[in-house]
């Protein structure tokens, strides 16, 4: 088996040793020795040693209640430190002759392939400059680490980078080690778990911090690399105003089932974003004022600066004053609503114009090398981030709009809108959208829920168009859902077009997505209100929770194909918005492979997707990591546009239909139809306890009830904790076994070899199966589940064995991930620390369920730390 890179192993060992020194310093050698006995026992037990398993069990059993919390914290923090070392290793300083990471060369290699495929250089350059990729930071982060700890983790990564030089003196090495020791001590003496749930505004600030500390630096670097690749391949630069990658956010805008996101919250987040953007540009402009001290300038610039020895500084100081005015107004308006004074920047052109003027002048005067430095980076940021940093999406459930309109129509004496059929709704909505008079009188007194819907629409109407993204309708079913939002926005004073986006989430709604959009685009008057593409959101999380990943993945694929055809028939451009999560059960997985597995024609230069929770930190938390991931996004969208995957053969479709039918039947026979399932789920997993973990501002449930009431995130998270990972694979065991029993193994192999959609599904399935552990899941059952429910747990583990065997047969491997021994060993390393956490969590769950403990008690804190530690070890929550 291949070994983990020696430098990664060295860093993991160093950080672990420093953590051990910190623990020993506070809690003594005897306690540290127990940690070591547990670690070594877990390692030996994983190798099949009965003696090691006994040592592990005896040492854990010997812990008294006061030792549970520090022991859990120790293993949790080691896994966090291992994550930091792994993340840094991906972007470490390369030695002379060592190959660069593949991400850095993915675009140049692709451009070469595209030219060989017959794409003209000019067309290629134009296509790259016209790409529209928008990454949407979602409003329900499952990030379990506190922001203060994340900052310390980033500081550790910086020290590992400082250490990664061969010419350090002994004193320099000692200084780095001391700083690492100090950071690890700061982490150890800081509580891991928030005491309170974050507010939506705090979530938004967390998203802004990811931009400030990472993406603000990473994005211009990526565009600089893109420009260099284009020049080398096509001889053409990336235009100054090109913004192939932008960012949006749901943080502070996603009110679907979250009563904490209100109209005032959305207004506050919009102003905070405006203030943050102005502040970040101020830092850039201050640096430019310092740098651009030269006297020579073009006549164009001198005509604006006047007769001065420092014309660039004169121009930039005026811009600085306007940025200061913008920041100060936005900050003040948070507390006191007031009109913006004349100095406040209102249009991005006002920010861009003086910067472009300086850029043109420097080039005209032979100082292009200066222009193409920090000034060019600032101009790239202006194109990508604008005046508002991120565009805020608004999301609300379709039922809330229907309820608001029902209240309105009842007040008007027209009956109840929510009791009308689709035709009646559309007739009413079209008539009112075309009517110039207001729908409501000043005497209408809405209920609190309707007042909130209308207040949100009023915030949208008052906000600058550039500050907003799309209005997403959760649980959309038909064309009326879109028109309902348009009418509510019109009634609230919106006089411009806004993208109103139906989100199709269940299996039934995905199957009905294309007919719904066809009807929408056929409505008289709708096209005149549609400016730009027709955006449609595909829900991965809830469709998988509804039907299992086998059927959901195929329904998502078919829905996209049908939507492409419908929009093509109507002559309308389509923008698909992918509501992907971080885990396989929520549509997650490597973004590059996922994009290339989309149906041909569904990307077409545009791609919009959610980035959620801890994946924001893992993919974009460090500038160098962010650069790698942004490069992958850019290359994948370009490749999917110009070299789309092949159309699936008819036989593949028929087999996929059978797989989906078998998969959904098997999945629902357990999750929906088994009478003991809900009881088993709540006993075998920490689902009920997760409600106490302050993960995000949204409640864990939409409403009271069984599994159907749970959000997709805690549904996945609970099964992840026990290592059964049920939502990611349940249904595949019946689907693959059925196909193999019918003699369709050869056709499955063809699909895997030649159809990116199917091969990506199998690769993601294999990855998640490698993280499962039936023995660990059985330990949860033995300690926590009532005897009459144990048979169900046995059945589920048998199904897990079935799907593992089927995947190994399909891939021709003797063990999962045999093709990736480094990944296997990384999992093995983590299991040494995960196994004790699982065993401690099982005991903590048992004790917590036997007696009520206050949330601040050591036992409850230890339980929550174990949840965070397992999530960190698996790098998955929801």
What are the residue numbers of the active site? Answer: 140, 545
Burial (CB count within 10 angstroms: exposed 0-12, middle 13-18, buried 19+), residue 437? exposed
CA angle 388, 394, 399 (to 5 degrees): 175
Output phi, psi for 140, to 5 deg: -130, 65
Residue ranges with strand state E in 138-285: 245-249
Closest CA to 536 of 606, 442, 432: 606
- Rounded Cα distance between 860 and 863, Å, is 5
367-360-384-325 Cα dihedral, nearest 10 degrees: 100
- Rounded Cα distance between 625 and 761, Å, is 25
What is the CA 764 to chain-centroid distance, rounded? 17
- Rounded Cα distance between 486 and 103, Å, is 42
Instruction: Measure Cα distances from 817 to 151, 756, 765 in Å.
Output: 33, 18, 11
Beta bridge partners of 575: 535
Closest CA to 272 of 224, 222, 203, 321: 203
CB 37 within 8 A of CB 199: no
What is the CA 791 to chain-centroid distance, rounded? 37
CB 360 within 8 A of CB 300: yes
DSSP per residue, 606-659? EEEEEE-THHHHHHHSSHHHHHHHHHHHHHHHHHHHHSPPPPPPHHHHHHHHHH
DSSP class of 338: -
Q: Which two tokens stand for residue 798?
A: 């048998």
DSSP class of 702: S
DSSP class of 493: T
């Amino acid at each position: 088996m291949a070994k983990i890179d020696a430098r990664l192993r060295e860093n993991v060992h160093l950080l672990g040793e420093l953590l051990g020194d910190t623990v020993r310093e506070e809690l003594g050698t005897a306690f540290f020795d127990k940690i070591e006995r547990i670690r070594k026992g877990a390692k030996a037990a994983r190798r099949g040693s009965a003696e090691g398993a006994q040592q592990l069990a005896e040492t854990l059993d010997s812990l008294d209640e006061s030792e549970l919390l520090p022991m859990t914290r120790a293993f949790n923090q080691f896994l966090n430190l291992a994550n930091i070392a792994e993340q840094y290793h991906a972007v470490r300083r390369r030695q002379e002759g060592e190959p660069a990471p593949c991400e850095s060369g993915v675009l140049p290699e692709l451009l070469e392939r595209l030219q060989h495929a017959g794409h003209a250089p000019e067309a290629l350059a134009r296509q790259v400059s016209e790409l529209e990729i928008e990454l949407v930071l979602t409003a329900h982060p499952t990030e379990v680490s506190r922001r203060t700890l994340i900052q310390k983790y980033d500081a550790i990564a910086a020290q590992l980078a400082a250490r990664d030089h061969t010419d350090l003196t002994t004193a320099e090495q000692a200084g780095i080690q001391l700083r690492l020791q100090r950071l690890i001590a700061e982490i150890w003496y800081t509580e891991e778990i928030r005491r309170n749930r974050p507010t939506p505004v705090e979530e938004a600030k967390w998203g802004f911090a990811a931009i400030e500390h990472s993406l603000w630096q990473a994005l211009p670097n990526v565009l600089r690399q893109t420009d260099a690749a284009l020049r080398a391949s096509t001889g053409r630069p990336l235009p100054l105003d090109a913004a192939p990658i932008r960012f949006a956010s749901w943080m502070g805008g996603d009110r679907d089932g979250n009563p904490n996101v209100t109209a005032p919250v959305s207004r506050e987040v919009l102003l905070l974003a405006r203030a943050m953007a102005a502040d970040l540009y101020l830092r850039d402009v201050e640096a430019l004022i310092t740098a651009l001290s030269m006297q020579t300038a073009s006549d164009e610039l001198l005509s604006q600066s006047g007769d001065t020895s420092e014309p660039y500084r004169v121009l930039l100081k005026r811009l600085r004053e306007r940025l200061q005015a913008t920041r100060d107004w936005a900050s003040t308006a948070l507390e006191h609503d007031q009109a913006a004074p004349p100095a406040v920047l209102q249009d991005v052109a006002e920010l861009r114009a003086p910067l472009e003027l300086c850029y043109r002048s420097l080039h005209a005067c032979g100082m292009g090398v200066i222009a193409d430095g920090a000034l060019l980076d600032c101009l790239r940021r202006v194109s990508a981030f604008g005046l508002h940093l991120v565009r805020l999406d608004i999301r609300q459930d379709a039922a809330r709009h229907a309820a608001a309109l029902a209240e309105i129509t009842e007040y008007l004496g027209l009956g109840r809108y929510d009791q009308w059929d689709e035709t009646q709704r559309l007739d009413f909505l079209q008539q009112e959208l075309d009517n110039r008079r207001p729908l409501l009188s000043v005497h209408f007194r809405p209920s609190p829920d309707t007042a909130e819907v209308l207040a949100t629409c009023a915030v949208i109407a008052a906000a600058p168009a550039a500050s907003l993204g799309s209005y997403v309708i959760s649980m959309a079913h038909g064309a009326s859902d879109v028109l309902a939002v348009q009418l509510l926005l019109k009634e609230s004073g919106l006089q411009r077009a806004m993208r109103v986006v139906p989100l199709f989430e269940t299996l039934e709604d995905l199957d009905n997505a294309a007919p719904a959009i066809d009807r929408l685009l056929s409505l008289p008057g709708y096209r005149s209100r549609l400016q730009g593409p027709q955006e449609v959101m595909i829900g991965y999380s809830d469709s998988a929770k509804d039907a299992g990943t086998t059927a959901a993945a195929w329904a998502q694929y078919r829905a996209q194909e049908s939507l492409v055809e419908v929009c093509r028939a109507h002559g309308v451009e389509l923008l698909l918005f992918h509501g992907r999560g971080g885990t396989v059960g929520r549509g997650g997985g490597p973004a590059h492979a996922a994009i290339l597995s989309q149906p041909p024609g569904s990307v077409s230069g545009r791609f919009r997707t959610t980035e959620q929770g801890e994946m924001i930190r893992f993919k974009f938390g460090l500038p160098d990591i962010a650069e790698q991931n942004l490069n992958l996004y850019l290359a994948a969208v370009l490749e999917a546009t110009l070299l789309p995957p092949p159309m699936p053969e008819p036989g593949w479709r028929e087999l996929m239909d059978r797989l989906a039918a078998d998969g959904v039947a098997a999945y629902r026979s357990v999750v929906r139809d088994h009478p003991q399932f809900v009881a088993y789920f709540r006993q075998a997993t920490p689902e009920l306890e997760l409600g106490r973990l302050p993960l995000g501002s949204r409640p864990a449930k939409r409403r009271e009830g069984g599994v159907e009431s749970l959000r997709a995130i805690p549904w996945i998270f609970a099964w992840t904790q026990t290592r059964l990972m049920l939502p990611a694979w349940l249904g595949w065991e019946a689907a693959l076994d059925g196909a193999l029993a019918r003699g369709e193994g050869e056709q499955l192999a063809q699909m895997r070899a030649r159809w990116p959609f199917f091969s990506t599904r199998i690769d993601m399935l294999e990855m998640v199966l490698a993280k499962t552990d039936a023995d660990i899941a059985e330990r949860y059952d033995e300690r926590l589940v009532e005897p009459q429910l144990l048979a169900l747990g046995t059945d589920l583990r048998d199904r897990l064995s079935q799907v593992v065997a089927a995947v190994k047969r399909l891939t021709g491997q003797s063990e999962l991930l045999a093709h990736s021994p480094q990944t296997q060993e990384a999992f093995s390393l983590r299991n040494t620390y995960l196994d004790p956490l699982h065993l401690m969590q099982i005991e903590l769950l048992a004790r917590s369920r036997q007696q009520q403990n206050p949330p601040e008690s050591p036992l409850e804190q230890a339980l929550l730390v174990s949840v965070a530690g397992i999530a960190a070890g698996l790098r998955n929550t929801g």
